[in-house]
Chain A
Amino acid sequence: MASTDRRKRDYSITGPENQRAQERGLAAAEWYTCPIPRQRMKELMKRKNGPAIRDTLIWFGSLLILGYLAYLSWGTWWAVPAFLAYGILYATPGDSRWHECGHGTAFKTPWMNEVVYQIASFMVLRSATPWRWSHARHHTDTIIVGRDPEIITERPPVWKILLMQIFHLYGGPIELKRFALHTFGKLEEQERDYIPASEHRKVFREARIYMLILLAVVAACIYAGSILPAMFVFFPSFYGGIVVITFGITQHLGLYEDVLDHRLNTRTVYMNPVLRFLYWNMNYHVEHHMFPMVPYHALPKLHEEMKADCPAARRGLFAALKEVITALRKQKHDPAYVVEKPLPATARPYVRGVPQQQDTSLRSEVL
Protein backbone atom coordinates (compact mmCIF):
# COMPACT_ATOMS: atom_id res chain seq x y z
CA MET A 1 0.00 0.00 0.00
CA ALA A 2 1.40 3.40 -0.94
CA SER A 3 2.14 5.82 1.81
CA THR A 4 1.38 9.51 1.67
CA ASP A 5 2.95 12.19 3.80
CA ARG A 6 1.24 12.67 7.10
CA ARG A 7 1.37 16.01 8.74
CA LYS A 8 2.51 15.94 12.35
CA ARG A 9 -0.59 15.48 14.46
CA ASP A 10 -1.52 17.13 17.71
CA TYR A 11 -2.03 14.31 20.24
CA SER A 12 -3.30 16.55 23.03
CA ILE A 13 -6.97 16.15 23.81
CA THR A 14 -7.49 19.89 23.97
CA GLY A 15 -6.23 20.41 20.41
CA PRO A 16 -7.91 20.32 16.99
CA GLU A 17 -7.68 16.53 16.64
CA ASN A 18 -10.38 16.16 19.29
CA GLN A 19 -12.91 18.00 17.13
CA ARG A 20 -11.67 16.21 14.02
CA ALA A 21 -12.19 12.80 15.64
CA GLN A 22 -15.73 13.78 16.57
CA GLU A 23 -16.44 15.00 13.05
CA ARG A 24 -15.12 11.73 11.62
CA GLY A 25 -17.45 9.73 13.87
CA LEU A 26 -14.56 8.20 15.82
CA ALA A 27 -15.49 9.60 19.24
CA ALA A 28 -17.68 7.43 21.48
CA ALA A 29 -18.28 5.22 18.46
CA GLU A 30 -19.56 1.68 18.22
CA TRP A 31 -16.66 -0.81 18.24
CA TYR A 32 -16.35 -4.23 16.74
CA THR A 33 -16.90 -7.15 19.11
CA CYS A 34 -16.26 -10.82 18.51
CA PRO A 35 -19.38 -12.98 18.55
CA ILE A 36 -19.65 -14.85 21.85
CA PRO A 37 -22.91 -16.44 23.02
CA ARG A 38 -24.58 -14.53 25.85
CA GLN A 39 -24.63 -17.61 28.08
CA ARG A 40 -20.86 -18.02 27.75
CA MET A 41 -20.28 -14.30 28.33
CA LYS A 42 -22.28 -14.48 31.54
CA GLU A 43 -20.02 -17.29 32.75
CA LEU A 44 -16.91 -15.34 31.84
CA MET A 45 -18.12 -12.11 33.44
CA LYS A 46 -18.87 -13.81 36.76
CA ARG A 47 -17.07 -12.15 39.67
CA LYS A 48 -15.10 -13.92 42.40
CA ASN A 49 -13.20 -12.76 45.47
CA GLY A 50 -10.99 -15.83 45.82
CA PRO A 51 -8.39 -15.30 43.07
CA ALA A 52 -7.83 -11.62 43.85
CA ILE A 53 -7.59 -12.18 47.64
CA ARG A 54 -5.06 -14.96 47.05
CA ASP A 55 -3.03 -12.84 44.64
CA THR A 56 -3.14 -9.78 46.89
CA LEU A 57 -1.91 -11.78 49.89
CA ILE A 58 0.92 -13.24 47.79
CA TRP A 59 1.81 -9.78 46.51
CA PHE A 60 1.93 -7.99 49.85
CA GLY A 61 3.51 -11.01 51.56
CA SER A 62 6.26 -11.08 48.94
CA LEU A 63 6.75 -7.33 49.28
CA LEU A 64 7.24 -7.72 53.04
CA ILE A 65 9.81 -10.48 52.57
CA LEU A 66 11.71 -8.65 49.83
CA GLY A 67 11.45 -5.41 51.79
CA TYR A 68 12.99 -7.07 54.85
CA LEU A 69 15.83 -8.54 52.75
CA ALA A 70 16.38 -5.13 51.15
CA TYR A 71 16.48 -3.54 54.62
CA LEU A 72 19.10 -6.06 55.75
CA SER A 73 21.17 -5.35 52.64
CA TRP A 74 21.18 -1.57 53.09
CA GLY A 75 24.72 -0.23 53.11
CA THR A 76 26.09 -3.12 51.00
CA TRP A 77 26.15 -3.71 47.25
CA TRP A 78 23.48 -6.37 47.79
CA ALA A 79 21.10 -3.48 48.23
CA VAL A 80 21.13 -2.87 44.46
CA PRO A 81 19.55 -6.18 43.39
CA ALA A 82 17.47 -6.36 46.57
CA PHE A 83 15.85 -2.96 46.05
CA LEU A 84 15.52 -3.53 42.31
CA ALA A 85 13.52 -6.69 43.03
CA TYR A 86 11.50 -4.88 45.70
CA GLY A 87 10.84 -1.96 43.36
CA ILE A 88 9.73 -4.15 40.48
CA LEU A 89 7.39 -6.06 42.79
CA TYR A 90 6.10 -2.74 44.16
CA ALA A 91 5.46 -0.98 40.86
CA THR A 92 4.52 -3.74 38.42
CA PRO A 93 1.63 -5.31 40.34
CA GLY A 94 0.89 -1.78 41.55
CA ASP A 95 0.16 -0.89 37.96
CA SER A 96 -1.86 -3.99 37.13
CA ARG A 97 -3.83 -3.94 40.40
CA TRP A 98 -4.53 -0.25 39.87
CA HIS A 99 -5.89 -1.16 36.46
CA GLU A 100 -8.04 -4.16 37.37
CA CYS A 101 -9.43 -2.67 40.57
CA GLY A 102 -10.14 0.54 38.68
CA HIS A 103 -12.43 -1.45 36.44
CA GLY A 104 -14.01 -2.93 39.54
CA THR A 105 -13.68 -6.47 38.22
CA ALA A 106 -10.82 -7.95 40.24
CA PHE A 107 -12.86 -8.65 43.37
CA LYS A 108 -16.53 -9.44 43.61
CA THR A 109 -16.88 -7.20 46.68
CA PRO A 110 -16.87 -3.52 45.64
CA TRP A 111 -15.04 -2.17 48.72
CA MET A 112 -12.16 -4.56 48.16
CA ASN A 113 -11.69 -3.21 44.65
CA GLU A 114 -11.80 0.32 46.00
CA VAL A 115 -9.29 -0.26 48.82
CA VAL A 116 -6.75 -1.93 46.54
CA TYR A 117 -7.40 0.70 43.86
CA GLN A 118 -6.62 3.56 46.24
CA ILE A 119 -3.47 1.88 47.59
CA ALA A 120 -2.21 0.89 44.13
CA SER A 121 -2.97 4.36 42.74
CA PHE A 122 -0.66 5.89 45.32
CA MET A 123 1.99 3.23 44.74
CA VAL A 124 2.19 4.04 41.02
CA LEU A 125 1.70 7.77 41.63
CA ARG A 126 -1.58 8.12 39.77
CA SER A 127 -4.32 10.34 41.09
CA ALA A 128 -7.07 7.81 41.74
CA THR A 129 -10.12 9.68 40.49
CA PRO A 130 -8.58 11.53 37.50
CA TRP A 131 -7.05 8.30 36.27
CA ARG A 132 -10.36 6.47 36.65
CA TRP A 133 -11.86 8.98 34.23
CA SER A 134 -8.83 9.05 31.99
CA HIS A 135 -9.00 5.29 31.71
CA ALA A 136 -12.72 5.36 30.95
CA ARG A 137 -11.90 7.67 28.03
CA HIS A 138 -9.10 5.30 26.96
CA HIS A 139 -11.71 2.55 26.71
CA THR A 140 -14.24 4.73 24.92
CA ASP A 141 -11.79 6.06 22.34
CA THR A 142 -8.89 3.62 22.35
CA ILE A 143 -5.93 5.13 20.43
CA ILE A 144 -8.15 7.73 18.78
CA VAL A 145 -5.83 10.71 18.34
CA GLY A 146 -7.10 13.79 20.13
CA ARG A 147 -9.45 11.73 22.32
CA ASP A 148 -7.41 9.09 24.13
CA PRO A 149 -5.33 10.62 26.97
CA GLU A 150 -3.37 7.39 27.48
CA ILE A 151 -1.44 7.16 24.21
CA ILE A 152 2.12 6.52 25.43
CA THR A 153 3.85 8.25 22.56
CA GLU A 154 2.87 9.88 19.32
CA ARG A 155 3.99 9.01 15.81
CA PRO A 156 6.80 9.45 15.00
CA PRO A 157 7.71 8.12 18.44
CA VAL A 158 9.43 10.26 21.04
CA TRP A 159 12.16 7.92 22.26
CA LYS A 160 13.05 10.25 25.07
CA ILE A 161 9.66 9.62 26.69
CA LEU A 162 10.02 5.86 26.41
CA LEU A 163 13.55 5.86 27.80
CA MET A 164 12.65 8.20 30.66
CA GLN A 165 9.72 5.96 31.56
CA ILE A 166 12.11 3.12 32.40
CA PHE A 167 12.45 4.99 35.68
CA HIS A 168 9.08 6.75 35.44
CA LEU A 169 10.94 10.03 34.96
CA TYR A 170 8.54 11.38 32.35
CA GLY A 171 5.17 10.46 33.84
CA GLY A 172 6.23 10.65 37.50
CA PRO A 173 7.04 14.38 37.63
CA ILE A 174 3.89 15.14 35.63
CA GLU A 175 1.85 13.28 38.24
CA LEU A 176 3.60 15.04 41.12
CA LYS A 177 2.76 18.39 39.52
CA ARG A 178 -0.84 17.24 39.23
CA PHE A 179 -0.90 16.24 42.90
CA ALA A 180 0.27 19.74 43.77
CA LEU A 181 -2.27 21.34 41.45
CA HIS A 182 -5.10 19.22 42.82
CA THR A 183 -4.00 19.88 46.39
CA PHE A 184 -4.61 23.56 45.75
CA GLY A 185 -8.01 22.86 44.21
CA LYS A 186 -7.08 23.17 40.53
CA LEU A 187 -7.23 20.88 37.52
CA GLU A 188 -5.33 20.74 34.26
CA GLU A 189 -7.26 21.93 31.24
CA GLN A 190 -7.30 18.46 29.68
CA GLU A 191 -8.61 16.93 32.91
CA ARG A 192 -11.66 19.16 32.64
CA ASP A 193 -12.41 17.43 29.33
CA TYR A 194 -12.97 14.03 30.93
CA ILE A 195 -13.58 14.55 34.66
CA PRO A 196 -17.12 15.70 35.48
CA ALA A 197 -17.51 18.63 37.86
CA SER A 198 -19.26 16.40 40.41
CA GLU A 199 -15.96 14.53 40.92
CA HIS A 200 -13.67 17.53 41.39
CA ARG A 201 -13.90 17.72 45.18
CA LYS A 202 -13.02 14.05 45.43
CA VAL A 203 -9.95 14.69 43.23
CA PHE A 204 -8.77 17.47 45.53
CA ARG A 205 -9.36 15.42 48.70
CA GLU A 206 -7.39 12.44 47.37
CA ALA A 207 -4.49 14.70 46.33
CA ARG A 208 -4.32 16.19 49.83
CA ILE A 209 -4.14 12.69 51.34
CA TYR A 210 -1.36 11.74 48.92
CA MET A 211 0.52 14.91 49.83
CA LEU A 212 0.24 14.15 53.53
CA ILE A 213 1.66 10.66 52.95
CA LEU A 214 4.52 12.09 50.88
CA LEU A 215 5.24 14.68 53.57
CA ALA A 216 5.27 11.91 56.17
CA VAL A 217 7.85 10.02 54.08
CA VAL A 218 9.98 13.17 53.83
CA ALA A 219 9.68 13.67 57.60
CA ALA A 220 10.69 10.06 58.20
CA CYS A 221 13.78 10.54 56.01
CA ILE A 222 14.75 13.69 57.88
CA TYR A 223 14.21 11.99 61.24
CA ALA A 224 16.21 8.93 60.19
CA GLY A 225 18.89 11.03 58.50
CA SER A 226 18.65 8.63 55.56
CA ILE A 227 16.71 8.13 52.33
CA LEU A 228 15.91 4.59 53.46
CA PRO A 229 12.20 5.27 54.27
CA ALA A 230 11.71 6.69 50.78
CA MET A 231 13.36 3.62 49.30
CA PHE A 232 10.34 1.65 50.55
CA VAL A 233 7.59 4.17 49.78
CA PHE A 234 7.73 6.68 46.91
CA PHE A 235 11.12 5.96 45.25
CA PRO A 236 10.05 2.43 44.14
CA SER A 237 7.47 4.15 41.91
CA PHE A 238 10.50 5.36 39.95
CA TYR A 239 13.29 2.82 40.30
CA GLY A 240 10.87 -0.10 39.91
CA GLY A 241 9.33 1.14 36.68
CA ILE A 242 11.16 -0.92 34.09
CA VAL A 243 8.65 -3.78 33.84
CA VAL A 244 5.70 -1.39 33.87
CA ILE A 245 6.91 0.34 30.72
CA THR A 246 8.06 -2.94 29.19
CA PHE A 247 4.55 -4.36 29.51
CA GLY A 248 2.93 -1.04 28.66
CA ILE A 249 4.56 -0.55 25.28
CA THR A 250 3.31 -3.94 24.07
CA GLN A 251 -0.33 -2.94 24.51
CA HIS A 252 -0.89 -0.62 21.53
CA LEU A 253 2.35 0.83 20.14
CA GLY A 254 3.17 0.15 16.49
CA LEU A 255 -0.46 -0.61 15.69
CA TYR A 256 -3.23 1.43 14.10
CA GLU A 257 -4.63 4.72 15.30
CA ASP A 258 -8.17 5.89 14.57
CA VAL A 259 -9.82 2.52 13.98
CA LEU A 260 -12.87 0.99 15.65
CA ASP A 261 -11.59 -2.55 15.99
CA HIS A 262 -9.39 -3.56 18.93
CA ARG A 263 -7.92 -6.36 16.85
CA LEU A 264 -6.15 -3.65 14.83
CA ASN A 265 -4.94 -1.33 17.58
CA THR A 266 -4.29 -3.68 20.49
CA ARG A 267 -1.90 -6.57 20.99
CA THR A 268 -2.34 -9.85 22.87
CA VAL A 269 0.90 -11.48 23.99
CA TYR A 270 1.43 -14.94 25.47
CA MET A 271 3.39 -14.74 28.73
CA ASN A 272 4.58 -17.19 31.35
CA PRO A 273 2.72 -17.58 34.68
CA VAL A 274 5.15 -15.36 36.62
CA LEU A 275 4.71 -12.45 34.22
CA ARG A 276 0.97 -13.06 34.12
CA PHE A 277 0.86 -12.84 37.91
CA LEU A 278 2.71 -9.53 37.83
CA TYR A 279 0.52 -8.25 35.00
CA TRP A 280 -2.74 -9.85 36.15
CA ASN A 281 -3.34 -11.29 32.69
CA MET A 282 -3.35 -7.91 30.95
CA ASN A 283 -1.24 -9.57 28.27
CA TYR A 284 -4.67 -10.62 26.96
CA HIS A 285 -5.17 -7.04 25.99
CA VAL A 286 -7.39 -7.36 22.93
CA GLU A 287 -9.72 -9.47 25.05
CA HIS A 288 -9.68 -6.94 27.88
CA HIS A 289 -10.47 -3.99 25.62
CA MET A 290 -13.22 -5.77 23.76
CA PHE A 291 -14.89 -7.11 26.90
CA PRO A 292 -13.72 -5.04 29.91
CA MET A 293 -16.31 -6.57 32.23
CA VAL A 294 -14.51 -9.93 32.13
CA PRO A 295 -12.27 -10.19 35.24
CA TYR A 296 -8.56 -10.83 34.88
CA HIS A 297 -8.79 -14.43 36.06
CA ALA A 298 -11.19 -15.31 33.22
CA LEU A 299 -9.20 -13.68 30.41
CA PRO A 300 -7.36 -16.88 29.36
CA LYS A 301 -10.76 -18.54 28.87
CA LEU A 302 -12.05 -15.50 26.99
CA HIS A 303 -8.98 -15.70 24.76
CA GLU A 304 -9.91 -19.28 23.83
CA GLU A 305 -13.41 -18.10 22.89
CA MET A 306 -12.11 -15.25 20.75
CA LYS A 307 -8.97 -16.51 19.08
CA ALA A 308 -10.68 -17.85 15.96
CA ASP A 309 -11.81 -14.27 15.30
CA CYS A 310 -8.51 -12.56 16.12
CA PRO A 311 -5.00 -12.31 14.71
CA ALA A 312 -2.51 -14.69 16.30
CA ALA A 313 -1.25 -13.64 19.70
CA ARG A 314 2.44 -12.69 19.86
CA ARG A 315 4.45 -15.63 21.12
CA GLY A 316 6.15 -14.18 24.16
CA LEU A 317 7.18 -10.84 25.60
CA PHE A 318 10.43 -10.65 23.63
CA ALA A 319 8.64 -11.32 20.34
CA ALA A 320 6.19 -8.54 21.16
CA LEU A 321 8.97 -6.14 22.16
CA LYS A 322 10.87 -6.90 18.96
CA GLU A 323 7.73 -6.14 16.93
CA VAL A 324 7.10 -2.90 18.82
CA ILE A 325 10.67 -1.59 18.66
CA THR A 326 10.99 -2.49 14.97
CA ALA A 327 7.72 -0.67 14.24
CA LEU A 328 8.74 2.39 16.25
CA ARG A 329 12.06 2.57 14.42
CA LYS A 330 10.22 2.46 11.09
CA GLN A 331 7.72 5.07 12.29
CA LYS A 332 10.61 7.40 13.07
CA HIS A 333 11.11 7.75 9.31
CA ASP A 334 7.63 6.77 8.13
CA PRO A 335 5.04 7.80 10.74
CA ALA A 336 2.30 6.15 8.69
CA TYR A 337 3.81 2.71 9.17
CA VAL A 338 1.76 0.25 11.25
CA VAL A 339 1.85 -3.48 11.89
CA GLU A 340 -1.14 -5.47 10.74
CA LYS A 341 -1.44 -9.15 11.46
CA PRO A 342 -3.49 -11.36 9.12
CA LEU A 343 -6.75 -12.76 10.42
CA PRO A 344 -7.45 -16.49 10.41
CA ALA A 345 -9.90 -17.82 7.82
CA THR A 346 -12.52 -18.20 10.56
CA ALA A 347 -12.48 -14.49 11.47
CA ARG A 348 -14.77 -11.70 10.43
CA PRO A 349 -13.06 -8.86 8.50
CA TYR A 350 -11.36 -5.99 10.26
CA VAL A 351 -13.35 -2.83 10.89
CA ARG A 352 -10.98 -0.03 9.99
CA GLY A 353 -13.09 2.93 10.98
CA VAL A 354 -16.21 4.72 10.01
CA PRO A 355 -16.70 3.16 6.53
CA GLN A 356 -17.12 6.27 4.39
CA GLN A 357 -14.25 8.13 6.04
CA GLN A 358 -11.38 5.69 6.24
CA ASP A 359 -7.95 7.22 6.58
CA THR A 360 -6.11 6.20 3.43
CA SER A 361 -2.80 7.64 4.55
CA LEU A 362 -1.82 4.56 6.56
CA ARG A 363 0.94 2.27 5.48
CA SER A 364 0.66 -1.18 6.94
CA GLU A 365 2.77 -4.27 6.72
CA VAL A 366 1.29 -7.71 7.08
CA LEU A 367 3.62 -9.74 9.27
Chain B
Amino acid sequence: MRTGTWIEACAADAIEAEDVIRFDFEDRTYAIYRTENGDYYATDGYCTHEKIHLSNGLVMGSVIECPKHNGRFDIPTGKAKRAPVCVDLKTYPVKVEAGKVYIQA
Protein backbone atom coordinates (compact mmCIF):
# COMPACT_ATOMS: atom_id res chain seq x y z
CA MET B 1 0.00 0.00 0.00
CA ARG B 2 1.15 3.55 -0.65
CA THR B 3 2.18 5.44 2.44
CA GLY B 4 1.81 9.10 3.19
CA THR B 5 -0.87 9.56 0.55
CA TRP B 6 -3.91 11.67 1.38
CA ILE B 7 -7.05 9.64 0.69
CA GLU B 8 -10.55 11.03 0.49
CA ALA B 9 -12.51 9.09 3.11
CA CYS B 10 -15.98 10.66 3.30
CA ALA B 11 -17.95 13.85 3.35
CA ALA B 12 -17.42 15.81 6.54
CA ASP B 13 -21.13 15.80 7.29
CA ALA B 14 -21.36 12.02 6.81
CA ILE B 15 -20.28 11.61 10.42
CA GLU B 16 -22.44 12.95 13.20
CA ALA B 17 -20.86 14.69 16.16
CA GLU B 18 -19.55 12.17 18.71
CA ASP B 19 -19.71 9.28 16.27
CA VAL B 20 -17.58 7.02 14.12
CA ILE B 21 -17.87 5.44 10.68
CA ARG B 22 -16.02 2.69 8.89
CA PHE B 23 -13.86 3.43 5.86
CA ASP B 24 -12.32 0.65 3.77
CA PHE B 25 -9.51 1.38 1.36
CA GLU B 26 -7.54 -1.20 -0.61
CA ASP B 27 -6.89 -4.03 1.87
CA ARG B 28 -7.21 -1.91 5.01
CA THR B 29 -10.09 -0.79 7.13
CA TYR B 30 -10.17 2.42 9.16
CA ALA B 31 -12.39 4.13 11.70
CA ILE B 32 -13.06 7.83 11.07
CA TYR B 33 -14.26 9.82 14.07
CA ARG B 34 -15.88 13.16 14.69
CA THR B 35 -15.73 14.19 18.32
CA GLU B 36 -18.26 16.27 20.21
CA ASN B 37 -16.37 19.49 19.51
CA GLY B 38 -16.20 18.77 15.80
CA ASP B 39 -12.62 17.49 15.46
CA TYR B 40 -11.95 14.62 13.06
CA TYR B 41 -9.61 11.69 13.71
CA ALA B 42 -8.72 8.40 12.06
CA THR B 43 -7.42 5.12 13.45
CA ASP B 44 -7.11 1.54 12.37
CA GLY B 45 -10.58 0.08 12.02
CA TYR B 46 -10.08 -3.04 14.10
CA CYS B 47 -9.67 -3.20 17.87
CA THR B 48 -6.15 -4.30 18.86
CA HIS B 49 -7.59 -6.92 21.23
CA GLU B 50 -9.56 -8.86 18.64
CA LYS B 51 -10.70 -8.34 15.08
CA ILE B 52 -13.78 -6.32 15.92
CA HIS B 53 -14.62 -3.20 13.93
CA LEU B 54 -14.65 -0.11 16.11
CA SER B 55 -17.19 1.62 13.88
CA ASN B 56 -19.92 -0.30 15.73
CA GLY B 57 -18.64 1.04 19.04
CA LEU B 58 -19.55 4.00 21.18
CA VAL B 59 -17.82 7.37 21.07
CA MET B 60 -17.83 9.13 24.44
CA GLY B 61 -16.05 12.47 24.35
CA SER B 62 -12.65 11.61 22.93
CA VAL B 63 -12.86 7.90 23.76
CA ILE B 64 -14.01 4.99 21.60
CA GLU B 65 -15.35 1.85 23.26
CA CYS B 66 -15.10 -1.45 21.41
CA PRO B 67 -18.52 -3.00 20.85
CA LYS B 68 -17.47 -6.54 21.76
CA HIS B 69 -15.46 -6.39 24.98
CA ASN B 70 -15.84 -2.75 26.04
CA GLY B 71 -12.12 -2.02 25.78
CA ARG B 72 -11.43 1.69 25.34
CA PHE B 73 -8.99 3.85 23.37
CA ASP B 74 -8.22 7.53 23.44
CA ILE B 75 -9.17 8.61 19.92
CA PRO B 76 -6.60 11.40 19.30
CA THR B 77 -3.62 9.33 20.50
CA GLY B 78 -4.86 5.75 20.03
CA LYS B 79 -3.72 4.98 23.57
CA ALA B 80 -5.29 1.89 25.17
CA LYS B 81 -7.31 3.04 28.19
CA ARG B 82 -9.24 0.06 29.48
CA ALA B 83 -8.79 -3.72 29.52
CA PRO B 84 -9.05 -5.97 27.66
CA VAL B 85 -7.19 -3.72 25.25
CA CYS B 86 -3.50 -3.49 26.08
CA VAL B 87 -2.02 -2.47 22.73
CA ASP B 88 -2.41 1.09 21.43
CA LEU B 89 -4.35 1.80 18.27
CA LYS B 90 -2.54 3.17 15.23
CA THR B 91 -3.69 6.68 14.35
CA TYR B 92 -3.53 8.57 11.04
CA PRO B 93 -3.36 12.28 10.23
CA VAL B 94 -6.65 13.77 9.11
CA LYS B 95 -7.56 16.97 7.27
CA VAL B 96 -10.87 18.44 6.19
CA GLU B 97 -10.96 20.37 2.93
CA ALA B 98 -13.93 21.57 0.93
CA GLY B 99 -16.32 19.52 3.03
CA LYS B 100 -14.35 16.27 2.59
CA VAL B 101 -12.42 14.28 5.16
CA TYR B 102 -8.99 13.03 4.07
CA ILE B 103 -6.75 10.62 5.92
CA GLN B 104 -3.03 10.16 5.37
CA ALA B 105 -2.57 6.41 5.24
A residues with a Cβ closer than 8 A to B are: 28, 41-42, 45, 47, 103-105, 110, 129, 132-133, 136, 139-140, 196, 198-199, 291-293
Q: List 18 A-B contacts (CB under 8 A).
A: A28-B50, A42-B19, A45-B58, A104-B65, A104-B82, A129-B83, A133-B83, A136-B69, A136-B83, A136-B84, A139-B68, A139-B69, A140-B50, A198-B86, A292-B68, A292-B69, A292-B70, A293-B67
* B interface, CB within 8 angstroms of A: 19, 49-51, 56-58, 60, 65-70, 72, 82-84, 86
Contact yes or no, A292 B67, CB < 8 A: yes
Among A105, A136, A292, the one with the most B-chain Cβ atoms within 10 Å of its Cβ is A136
Task: Evaluate contact between B69 and A140: CB separation under 8 angstroms.
Answer: yes
Q: How far is the CA of A132 from the CA of B83 in the complex (A)?
A: 8
**Are A196 and B50 within 8 A (Cβ)?**
no
Q: Assuming the A-B contacts A140-B50, A292-B68, A293-B65, are A133 and B60 also in contact, with contact meaning beta carbons closer than 8 angstroms in the complex?
A: no
**Residues of chain B with a CB closer than 8 A to A136's CB:** 49, 69, 83-84
> Which residues from B are CB-within-8-Å of A292?
67-70
Interfacial chain A residues near B68, Cβ < 8 Å? 139-140, 292
Q: How far is the CA of A140 from the CA of B82 in the complex (A)?
A: 17
Mostly, the A contact residues are helix
Residue in chain A with minimal CB distance to B53: A30
User: Is B58 within 8 A of A42, CB to CB?
Assistant: yes
B60 touches A199 (CB 8 A): no
- Nearest A residue to B81 via CB reads A110
Q: What are the nearest 4 A-B pairs in CB distance?
A: A136-B84, A45-B58, A136-B69, A104-B70
Question: By the criterion CB–CB under 8 Å, are A105 and B50 in contact?
Answer: no
Cα separation A99 to B19 with both chains bound (whole Å): 27
Distance between Cα atoms of A129 and B69 in the complex (Å): 14
Contacts of B57 in A (CB 8 A): 293
The CA of A198 and the CA of B88, in the complex, are separated in Å by: 13
Q: Do the beta carbons of A28 and B51 come within 8 Å of each other?
A: yes
A residues in contact with B51, CB < 8 Å:
28
Across the interface, name the chain A residue whose C-beta is closest to B18: A42
- Which B residues touch A28, using CB under 8 A? 50-51
Name A196's closest neighbour in chain B (CB-CB): B86
Q: Given the interface contacts A28-B51, A136-B84, A198-B86, does A291 sit within 8 Å of B60 by beta carbon?
A: no
Chain A neighbourhood of B70, CB < 8 A: 103-105, 292-293
